[in-house]
Amino acid sequence: MARSRSKSAEQNNTAVAVRGGMISRIECDNFKSYKGHQVIGPFKQFTSIIGPNGSGKSNLMDAISFVLGVQSAQLRGTVLRDLVYAFDLADREESRTAYVKLFYDAEDGTEICFSRHIDASGAGQYKIDGKACTAEAYSERLKEHGILIKARNFLVFQGDIESVASKSPKELCALIEQVSGSADLKKDYDEALKSRKECEEEQLASLQRRKATTNLRKQMKEQKEEAEKHIRMQQELTKLKTEHVMFKLYHIDHEAERHTEEIEEAKEALKEHEDRLNALKKEEEEKRQLKAGHSKRVMMLERKIAKAKEDADKRNPAAVKNREETLRAKKKLELAQKMLERHSADAEQSATDIARLERDLKNVAAAEEIFENDFQAELKKGDKKQLGAAQVEDYNRKKEEAGAKTFKLRQERDGLAAAAQADEDVRKRLEAKRDELTQRVDFLNEQKQGELRRMADLEKGRDEAKAELDEARAKDKGLADEKRKSRAKQEHLTNKIEEISGKLREAKADRKESEREVRAQEAIVAMRRLLPGVYGRVTDLLKVTQRKYNLAVITVLGRDADAIVVEDAAVAKECVQYLKEQRVAPMTFLPLDGVKAYEPDEGLRHLGGSAKLAVDVCNFDSKFKVAMIYALGSDTIVCDTHEEAKRLTFGGERRFKVVSLDGTMIRKSGEMTGGTSGSLEAKASRFDAEEVATLRADRQAAEESLARLKPVATFAMEEQEAQARMTRLERDLQYAAADIKVCAEKIGKLSKDVEVMEREITSTVPELEKATAELEKTVKAARVLEKKIHAIEDEVYAEFSKSVGVKNIREYEENNLATLQRGAEERAKFAQQKAKLTEQLNYERSRDVAGPRAKAQSDITRHEEDLARLASEAEKAKAEADAARNETEGWVKDAAAAKEEMRAVETEINELRSRNKGANTDEAKLQRVVSNKTAQVESLRENRADIIAAARMERLKLPRADDDEEDEDILALPAPVPTLEAEQLEEAEAMEVDAETTGGWRAAAFRVKLDYENLPDRLKNAPRPSDRERLDHELRDAVEEMAADLARLEPNMKAIEQYEGLKEKEAEQVEALEDSRRRTKEAAEAFDAIMQERESTFMAAFEHISGAIDRVYKELTSSRIHPMGGTAYLNLEDTQEPYNSGVRFSAMPPTKRFRDMDQLSGGEKTMAALALIFAIHSYRSSPFFILDEVDAALDKTNVEKMAQFIRNRSHGTNPGNEGKPCQSIVISLKDYFFDKADSLVGVCRDIDQACSRVLTFDLEKFPEEIEE
């Protein structure tokens, strides 16, 4: 075999100087299509694998890839078991093992055996020189020889060329990253970048926190100084509040002692009165027991009477049933008597008809006999044509002769005539019978239709009665439902009216207290009418958004709730003058141009929870905004619960004025006010004026609806009418059912009679048809004989007929035979009449007229017996009812007498009650005295406890008496414990606020003894309520004035502690800022180092590939015509961070302008992709390169160019290899490619063994033809 080679290639071969590592041979066992143990090789520097399609070439490449660590998914197999040899699916079940061994000759001359095994279970194993190792160690050993499994820098599969040609810039960049190894740094790069960003954000946050803390510390210093001033004023206020509380408690204790003495006196008088009252009650109890005895007797008698009435009611339906059965029996008896009369008349008529028919039959027989005699006489007389004696003699002789000749025929004819006459008689008789039966059937059908119509009418009446009964029942049920609904609606409306009336009464309870308010309202209306610029009270000018806020808003407004909003100060002065002139109580005025108010802080609208600004829960006209903010406060907060109010007031750095929904208010100073107040609730009800109007309208509507309801008596009357109607309809239905039953029986009997008649007609018709057929047959035979007789007679009478002058003898005889014909007709009539009379007589004799008459007689007897039985039962029931009625009348008399005795006892009891009533009135008066005094004492005690509770909430320490035995600290609030958990702290706060749940200290508040010695005498000596009220106002005003001064300070009481804490916090934040700056610097340095390493690794590969791509492409595309070849180059989309962008690959074939890869032909794309693959492989190249049919899309010229390029590269003679050879193993089917190889490995299919076989052929033994 000769091989061709170019001269330049021959010259280049002389440049081979270095030999690198290479694959020497492959051994495989049961791998894919290679059955058993097979040795493939030896492999030369340039080896071409050839063989037909389907022989196993690609499986050989898969074997090389498998042993070099490529995963099974890339080798056309799902799991390792798919790579083990199997002839078919059944053979796949065999437990086989497989392996592939690659013998590699290293550069130092040593041979290394890399092997990969698959055991019987499908598990894989790696070995190096027969020793098992891990996949990582296996990969590292291959990497030492320049074989990168992840980068796959030694393989080019069948689809890789197209894949490379169609890669996007981003994908091409990822490929270069994988080849260069910079992809291994991507994870460290991303983590370093994330760490740097987090450190920068933390540094910025630390800087902002430090600035905020510094600014807050400066502000807190001012608040600290204000808080210290507030503490001094707070101590003075506490002393003043304590004096005020002791003043009120002193006078409460004094009043309680006085009321207690009066209670003791009233209790002694009450005890004497109770003794007298007990005696009266004892006597009344005895009378009541006597009355109970009479009442019990009356009740027993009434029960007996009711039971008797119930029994009578039970007997009543039986009596009604007896009457109804009697009526039905009478009707049945009348019907049976009518039927007896009808059947008797029918029997008499039948006997009369039989006698008449027998008489008529005798008369017809006598008439027939008379006719025969007369007819024979007439025949003898009649002879219309006179003949001579000779003619007569000749006629007689001819007649005898003809008679002799036709004797037998005449006998036969007469016999047939007699038979025909008999058949005719039978036919007429059967026809008469059929007609009579048909008439009888029509008569019976007519009767049946009449009964059917009557039954239909009865059923229609029954259905109408049923429908009417159902309607009546439905109406009765509807009445019951309507009655129940009406009663329920009546109860509902009554309850609703009472409920609304109660609410309205509650609204009217404050009428006495609001008389002053009414006068004030009248004055306001007058001022609005007389003085322009008067707008109204604050409560009239605002609307609370939700009802639940009513009490809270009124509490916030306080005295300003009644303040009147006016235009300016001048209008306010005029209003004051008007009030003085009209002697109206003083009022507060808010001039819109005089009051000052600040806009609410927007931050207060975002406190969270249920907290809202007081101005936000109210709606008002914007022109009154200043006055409303002044009255409500620009920083007043409304919340749902008292706990939340305390948290808002004391839980932050800033204090607010907070009020909860129950009216409890906490001021900025910490002062708390709360409790129940009728005046506040009355003012809060102003917001519900519309609801009161709605309640009145609802009550009026409910009363009107109640008036429109139907009375219960009307329902009772309608129910009685419905019951009576249902009883009548049920009785009518029973009668209708009985009539329908009788009618149905009659229809059944008529139907049976019709069936009998129809059966007789059915049996008669065939007999009639048979008789008619026999008659026709006989008549036909008689006519035949008649013709024969006529022929013989014509022959015998021929001469006689000629002599007489007639055509034949019959013409002569016809003149005389008319009489004979008439005689025959008369005889036929007589026979027909006799047959008809005989048939009627037989029918009448066959009728059963005695049976129906006997049955009717039996029915009459049975019905008479039923009537007698029912009459007896009725008499018996009447006797029982009379006896029960007599017994009941006796019980009624006894009950009336017992009631009279009970009324007499009731009169005595009423007299005792009237006496007891007077005594009870006196007792009630004494009890009211005790109750009122006790209530006053209890109220004073509760007031005392409330005052002590308020003092406790304000942490006021009240002086205690020396003889007081209560615990010293029981009336003091516990100090907050810093270590409490949040839940425990909430429970502690709840215990502080809710006095009702802490019965210990409240009971102590009732019993505690206070020391009033230090209380000034001027506060003790105030016996009159007016003096006490005046002193109370003075003390309250002093407290409020000092509290107002404190409120204006608005200090932050935590500022002292917070200031020191902020100083420490600021130092910590400075240290944290420095630490974050240090970490940010370290993260930036680490990121820069990784980024530089990744960039240098990527750029080293890119620069090498970019420099090699043009040389390789030129070498692949150069020719004699175009020795310079084409141009190819790579461009970076981003030079700053090239690995994060893309790499553009451009190629320009010889003699063509620049085009994108998509616009190149298939061969041009393949050559460009091959150039890129070889350029990439040249960077950190492996010692061998395996390609699978990469020449498939190339023409012969390009295949030869590529083959020469691979040969030069394999031997290290091309410019890009720098004298270092690279073993090439290429699968190809083109002879102008593989003839350039150093050796051939042929793969064929062994049909007998169903596997692939390998043949090796060394081409170096053959000389090459040098092409000039």
1158 bridge partner residues? none
Give the Å distances, CA to CA, from 768 to 580, 782, 1185. Answer: 138, 21, 123
- Provide, rounded to the nearest whole percent, the portion of the chain with pLDDT above 90: 2
Give the model's confidence band at 679: pLDDT under 50 very low, under 70 low, under 90 confident, else very high. low
Residue 1073 has pLDDT above 60, yes or no: yes
Query: Which amino acid is it at 429?
Result: R
Cis peptide before 1183 (omega within 30 of 0): no
Residue scoring higher pLDDT (910 or 314)? 910
Residue 681 has pLDDT above 90, yes or no: no
Percentages helix, strand, coil for the chain (3-state, rounded to 5) are: 70, 10, 20
Which pLDDT tens digit goes with each residue over 819-857?
656 666 777 777 778 777 787 777 777 777 777 778 778
Mean pLDDT of the 379-398 span: 60
Residues 47, 1240: contact at Cβ < 8 Å?
yes
- Provide, rounded to the nearest whole percent, the portion of the chain with pLDDT above 70: 83
Residue scoring higher pLDDT (151 or 1048)? 1048
Residue 113 has pLDDT above 90, yes or no: yes
Q: Which of 189-203, 631-645, 806-820, 1169-1183 shows the lowest per-residue confidence on average (mean pLDDT)? A: 806-820
d(CA 750, CA 544): 93
Residue located via tokens 């109607």: 725
Mean pLDDT of the 399-423 span: 78
| pTM recorded for the entire structure | 0.37
Torsion 1069-1070-1071-1074 (CA) sign? positive
Confidence (pLDDT) at 992: 40
Confidence (pLDDT) at 981: 40
Work out the angle between the directed axes of helices 1162-1177 and 1055-1117 (0-180°, nearest 10): 120
Number of CB atoms found within 10 A of residue 1122's CB:
13
C-alpha R_g of the chain: 69
Which pLDDT tens digit goes with each residue over 596-626?
888 888 878 888 888 888 888 898 888 888 8
Residue 406 has pLDDT above 60, yes or no: yes
Residue scoring higher pLDDT (148 or 66)? 66
Residue 453 has pLDDT above 60, yes or no: yes
Confidence (pLDDT) at 293: 77
Which pLDDT tens digit goes with each residue over 1023-1062?
777 777 888 888 888 888 887 777 777 677 777 777 778 7
* 217 contacts: CB under 8 Å, gap ≥ 6: 1059, 1062, 1063, 1066
d(CA 120, CA 135): 19
Which pLDDT tens digit goes with each residue over 741-773?
888 888 888 888 888 888 888 888 888 888 888
Local structure of 1118: helix, strand or coil? coil
Mean pLDDT of the 1171-1178 span: 78
Which pLDDT tens digit goes with each residue over 1105-1151?
877 787 888 887 887 777 787 888 788 877 777 877 888 887 888 87
Which pLDDT tens digit goes with each residue over 712-728?
667 667 777 777 778 87
Residue scoring higher pLDDT (575 or 389)? 575
Confidence (pLDDT) at 686: 55
d(CA 329, CA 873): 14
Give the model's confidence band at 591: pLDDT under 50 very low, under 70 low, under 90 confident, else very high. very high
Which pLDDT tens digit goes with each residue over 654-675?
777 889 888 888 887 777 777 6
Confidence (pLDDT) at 114: 92
Give the model's confidence band at 994: pLDDT under 50 very low, under 70 low, under 90 confident, else very high. very low
d(CA 1094, CA 934): 96
Q: Among 3, 60, 10, which residue's Cα sits nearest to residue 31?
A: 60
Confidence (pLDDT) at 101: 92
Mean pLDDT of the 440-447 span: 83
Euclidean distance between the first and final Cα of the chain, in Å?
20
Phi then psi for 87, rounded to 5 degrees? Answer: -70, -45
Residue scoring higher pLDDT (166 or 69)? 69
Residues 575, 566: contact at Cβ < 8 Å?
yes
Q: How many CA atoms lie within 13 A of 593 on its CB side?
A: 7
Give the model's confidence band at 979: pLDDT under 50 very low, under 70 low, under 90 confident, else very high. very low
d(CA 5, CA 720): 132
User: Using DSSP, how many helices (H) and how many strands (E) does the chain show?
Assistant: 29, 26
Q: Which of 88-102, 475-489, 506-520, 1050-1064 shows the lowest per-residue confidence on average (mean pLDDT)? A: 506-520
- Residue 132: its H or E element: strand 131-133
Confidence (pLDDT) at 1: 43
Give the model's confidence band at 4: pLDDT under 50 very low, under 70 low, under 90 confident, else very high. very low
Give the model's confidence band at 688: pLDDT under 50 very low, under 70 low, under 90 confident, else very high. low
Mean pLDDT of the 1200-1213 span: 79
Q: Among 346, 434, 432, 353, which residue's Cα sits nearest to residue 845?
A: 353
Confidence (pLDDT) at 513: 44
| Mode of pairing for the β-strands spanning 1239-1246 and 1251-1258 | antiparallel
Q: How many CA atoms lie within 13 A of 196 on its CB side?
A: 17
What's the length of the chain?
1268
Residue 637 has pLDDT above 50, yes or no: yes
Give the model's confidence band at 7: pLDDT under 50 very low, under 70 low, under 90 confident, else very high. very low
Please provide the average confidence, as pLDDT, over all residues in the chain.
77
Q: Which two tokens stand for residue 796?
A: 């015998």
Residue 884 has pLDDT above 80, yes or no: no
Confidence (pLDDT) at 89: 61
Which pLDDT tens digit goes with each residue over 12-26?
443 333 346 888 889
Residue 1000 has pLDDT above 70, yes or no: no
Where do the DSSP E strands lie in 1034-1141?
1127-1132
Phi then psi for 651, rounded to 5 degrees? Answer: -90, -10
Residue located via tokens 């009865």: 458
